[in-house]
Chain A
């Protein structure tokens, strides 16, 4: 049974429009401006060079600390929950990924700030607005991310292989080196690359916790060149270009080695997994608390009066419109992103049916489809602005541009969730249904739809959640009439309205957590897939 070629034609057209219009043209414009502005002479500019050094330095340091902590934590948790399929630990480790970075930054200010919670207990940190604070916040946010990657891979190491190694004389470290490491290393490396990309492009965290000039990264420099003083588009393009190179470097490294070793990455699904062992309840609660410990500190933003936003009529009038705008933005971005991802997976699937010989091309496309996850929202925002800004009225802003931009940015989230679903297409069952008299649509509805429903809801919730806290991209197409919630926070922070800004941060935290729980419970969706860990 083959999928009709008409789907290939339709999905191809959509993909071409999506990639040319959404990524090709904007990035091409960005590179062109950067080159014409002397992007290659970057190293002669000592100020920019020091910013580049700072960017790479803090990203590498944050990644190293996250990697060290995350690897061993993930290994430990993976060993503990390997025989407990119902364990909530992986889900809880994924939670911090859903917390908007703006909320993360504000939470750490609320904990560590000069008038923060710890200061009120007599514990003072003199490094809250410094590189240390940025690295600490990055590491705390990313340790569970790496731990999740390692934990999930470790969970899937077949127990029989470990038993075989033990029987052949392997001790704990030999087991780790020869059996576990080959099966977790790529997930670990990919997670590290993601962390490196994240730390390089981190915006809200560096802006709020870095304390300004002491910690200036390419991202904040780019923002500064657009936001303050004169509009230096070419300077911003140069920053964006070099930032893109740093961001993509670890991915290029992985792709280079991945290609040489891809055979060892084949999943070992057919291996028998041992039956579930009895895990002590108290011990299980302990593991859950460890995992939850990485999200709990952000809950401090809830201490400020979130409800006050809706009770106080003045605040309500200021927040209500951005609140609904954010919801609409999240909804539309989620819908378009999921639709584009469906087109992409369909394109890959039908393509592999029609041209089975070009599997390398297919693999290349899969990598390409994950590309936007390595792009900074500010860089993409700038690229979009440079390409399509001329058609946008600066006084009106553009809701459509915001939606399209976020669709491109969060497309990989949906793609990664839906990609395994199409790979598991139950062709034989569909054929059986058709042979029993069902039409193609009915066969799909009864056989395939139950498998698709959950991931579709999950992908939608994932994108909507990410969209809610996104600040870089939307800032390019906002206007006085078109301000989403994250921009309200940013403005209130600039006007020293910290308490009220924290109230909105609390609201964002509640919204994003709700969406994550919807994706877990209703969508039966795993976040680790969306961030590329499976």
Chain B
């Protein structure tokens, strides 16, 4: 395990209250280093919104929203997405269409001023771990769905972010591919065990990947969706 792992720290979401146009999200939870937490909830309950909020893509509005976000002792509530150091896997991967696979996965390293030779070496090494080293110079639109997802995983983790967020990463894949990719995600997360939050609809994803899970539930008689930590253990958690 790399020595930088000691720099990782837990994510704390403290009394969060995000007001959307016609509903409100409330959350108060934490994710430890090495933990993989699944977030479940019905469609439209704000799972992706919560992920985007944590990533800083839809930040809290001062005066309208409340709560604080911490990575260890560092408050990140109002930091820009660049400053938060969050690895994000989008539902549609959002691979850069103007770049090949290697350039895509090493983009985060490039933005951090890592020398070309070093980042290419790292990129090939990580791509090798998911069986894509030979596809390094391919254009992303030539990849299959599973390959795209692998590239997205590597791109999100290779630069060692402080937090990893995944938005329904297995939703568009067939069963066989899901099984393989769950396994690869676990492998990659072992290499870089940053706190990980995974949005999913699939209970099997939760059982196979998560160490615990949260659910977004409607507060009866209101338009509030509240994140609850589930106490029931599905039984397959590590």
List residues of chain A with CB under 8 Å of any chain B CB: 158, 160-161, 163-171, 174, 178-179, 181-183, 263-264, 266, 268, 270-272
How far does the alpha carbon of A271 sit from the alpha carbon of B142 in the complex, in Å? 15
Q: Sample 27 A-B pairs with CB under 8 A, ordered by A number.
A: A158-B94, A160-B90, A160-B94, A161-B95, A165-B107, A166-B57, A166-B81, A167-B55, A167-B81, A167-B87, A168-B107, A168-B155, A169-B82, A169-B85, A170-B82, A170-B107, A170-B111, A171-B82, A178-B96, A263-B142, A264-B97, A266-B97, A266-B139, A270-B92, A271-B92, A272-B90, A272-B91
Among A158, A166, A167, A178, residue most surrounded by chain B Cβ atoms (within 10 Å): A167
CB distance from B11 to the nearest CB of A (A): 15
| Cβ–Cβ contact A264 & B90, under 8 A | no
Question: B80: which A residues are within 8 A, CB to CB?
Answer: 166
Besides the contacts A160-B94, A169-B85, A263-B139, what 6 more A-B pairs have beta carbons closer than 8 Å? A163-B94, A164-B96, A167-B86, A169-B111, A171-B82, A179-B96
The reply to whether B98 and A183 form a contact with Cβ atoms under 8 Å apart is yes
**How distant is the Cα of A166 from the Cα of B96 in the complex, in angstroms?**
12
Among B94, B95, B111: residue with most chain A CB under 10 A: B94
With the chains together, A94 CA to B112 CA distance in Å?
41
Q: How far is the CB of B85 from chain A (nearest CB, A)?
A: 8
The docked-state distance in angstroms from the alpha carbon of A487 to that of B32 is 79
Q: Is B170 part of the binding interface, using a Cβ–Cβ cutoff of 8 Å?
A: no
Report the minimal beta-carbon distance from A82 to chain B, rounded to whole angstroms.
15
In the complex, which of the residues A164, A170, A178 contacts B98, with contact meaning CB atoms closer than 8 Å?
Answer: A178
CB of B105, distance to nearest CB on chain A (Å):
10
Supposing A174-B111, A263-B141, A270-B92 touch, asked if A163 and B57 sit within 8 A by C-beta, the answer is yes
Asked if residues A164 and B111 are in contact (CB atoms below 8 Å), the reply is no
Given contact pairs A166-B57, A167-B57, A160 touches B111 in the complex (Cβ within 8 A): no
Q: In the complex, which residues 77-111 of chain B have their Cβ closer than 8 Å to any Cβ of chain A?
A: 80-82, 84-88, 90-92, 94-99, 107-108, 111
Contacting pair A168 B99 (CB below 8 A):
no
Is B159 in the interface zone, CB < 8 Å from A? Answer: yes
Task: Name the one of A163, A170, A178 contacting B99, with C-beta atoms under 8 angstroms.
Answer: A178
In the complex, the answer to whether B92 meets A169 with C-beta atoms within 8 Å is no
Question: What is the bound-complex CA distance between A161 and B98, given in angstroms?
Answer: 11
Query: Which B residues contact A (CB, under 8 angstroms)?
Result: 52, 55-57, 80-82, 84-88, 90-92, 94-99, 107-108, 111-112, 139, 141-142, 155, 159
Of residues B80, B91, B97, B111, which shows the largest number of chain A Cβ atoms within 10 Å of its Cβ? B97
Residue from A165, A168, A170, A271 whose CB has the most chain B CB atoms within 10 Å: A168
* Contact with B96, one of A165, A169, A263, A272 (Cβ below 8 angstroms): A165
Smallest beta-carbon distance A277→chain B, Å: 10
A263 surroundings in chain B (CB, below 8 A): 139, 141-142
Interface pair B141/A163, CB less than 8 Å apart? no
Q: Are A163 and B88 in contact (CB under 8 A)?
A: yes
CA distance A168 to B96 in the complex (A): 12
Q: Which of the residues B81, B91, B96 comes within 8 Å of A182, measured between beta carbons? A: B96
A168, B55: Cα distance in complex, Å: 11
Question: Quick one: which of B52, B82, B96, B99 has the most chain A CB within 10 A?
Answer: B96
Question: Most chain-B Cβ atoms within 10 A of its Cβ — which of A158, A160, A163, A164?
Answer: A164
Nearest-CB residue, chain B, relative to A168: B108
Distance, CA A171 to CA B98, complexed state (A): 18
For the complex of A and B, the 3 pairs showing the least CB-CB separation, nearest first, are A182-B98, A169-B111, A160-B94
Q: CA–CA, A170 to B82, complex, Å?
A: 7
Contact of B97 among A167, A171, A182 (CB under 8 A): A182
Could you say which residues of chain A place their CB within 8 Å of the CB of B52? Answer: 163
Closest to A278 in B: B21
- B88:A164 contact, CB within 8 angstroms: yes
B94 lies within 8 A of A168 (CB): no
Q: How far is the CA of A264 from the CA of B98 in the complex (A)?
A: 5
Chain A residues, CB < 8 A from B94? 158, 160-161, 163-164, 271-272
Q: Which residue of chain B has its CB nearest to the CB of A164?
A: B94
Least Cβ–Cβ distance between A302 and chain B, in angstroms: 44
Q: How far is the CA of A399 from the CA of B55 in the complex (A)?
A: 66
Q: Give CA–CA (A168, B142) in the complex, Å.
A: 23
A contact residues around B82 at 8 Å (CB): 166-167, 169-171
Output the least CB separation between A163 and chain B (Å).
5
Query: Are B55 and A161 in touch, CB under 8 angstroms?
Result: no
Known contacts being A266-B97, A268-B97, A271-B94, is A167 close to B88, with CB within 8 Å? yes
Please tell me if the beta carbons of A161 and B112 are within 8 angstroms of each other in the complex: no
- Chain A nearest Cβ from B101, distance in angstroms: 12
Cα–Cα distance between A453 and B142 once the two chains are bound (Å): 34
Contact present for B141 and A266 (CB under 8 Å): yes
Q: Which of chain A's residues have a CB closer than 8 A to the CB of B85? A: 169
Q: Which residues of A contact B81 (CB under 8 A)?
A: 163, 166-167
Contact B111 A272 (CB under 8 A): no
Chain A residue, CB-CB nearest to B55: A167
Is there an interface contact between B96 and A161, defined as CB atoms closer than 8 Å? yes
**Contact between chains at B99 and A182 (CB < 8 Å):** yes
Q: How far is the CA of A164 from the CA of B92 in the complex (A)?
A: 11
Measured CB to CB, the nearest residue on chain B to A271 is: B92
- For residue A216, give the distance in angstroms from its CB to the closest CB of chain B: 43
In the bound complex, what is the Cα–Cα distance between A181 and B155 (angstroms)? 20
Query: Quick check: B108 and A169 within 8 Å, CB to CB?
Result: yes
CA distance A268 to B93 in the complex (A): 11
Instruction: Report the bound CA distance from A15 to B94 in whole Å.
Output: 41
Chain A residue with the shortest CB-CB distance to B139: A263
Residues of A contacting B139 in the complex (Cβ-Cβ under 8 angstroms):
263-264, 266
Query: What is the bound-complex CA distance between A294 and B85, given in angstroms?
Result: 43
B84, B96, B98, B107 — most chain A CB neighbours (10 Å): B98
Q: How far is the CB of B55 from chain A (nearest CB, A)?
A: 6
Closest B residue to A183 by CB, please name it. Answer: B98
Bound complex: CA A182 to CA B99 (Å): 8
Q: Which residues of A contact B159 (CB under 8 A)?
A: 168-169
Please name all residues of chain B whose beta carbon is closer than 8 Å to the beta carbon of A268 when the two chains form the complex.
97, 141
A51 vs B57: C-alpha distance when bound (angstroms): 56
Smallest CB separation, A171 vs chain B (Å): 7
Determine the chain B residues whose CB is within 8 A of the CB of A168 once the complex forms.
107-108, 111, 155, 159
Chain A contacts for B90, CB-based, 8 A:
160, 163-164, 272
Give A319 Cβ to nearest chain B Cβ, in Å. Answer: 53
Question: Closest approach, in angstroms, between the C-beta of B140 and any C-beta of chain A?
Answer: 9
A100–B97 Cα distance when bound, in Å, is 38
Complex Cα–Cα for A169 and B162 (A): 13
Select from chain B the residue with minimum beta-carbon distance to A185: B98
Q: Which residues of B contact A169 (CB under 8 A)?
A: 82, 85, 108, 111-112, 159
**Nearest chain B residue, comparing its CB with the CB of A272:** B92
* CA distance in complex: A266, B142 (Å): 10
Residue of B nearest to A162 (CB): B94
Min CB–CB distance A242 → chain B (angstroms): 36
Residues of A within 8 A of B91 (CB): 272
A160 to B24, CA, bound (A): 23
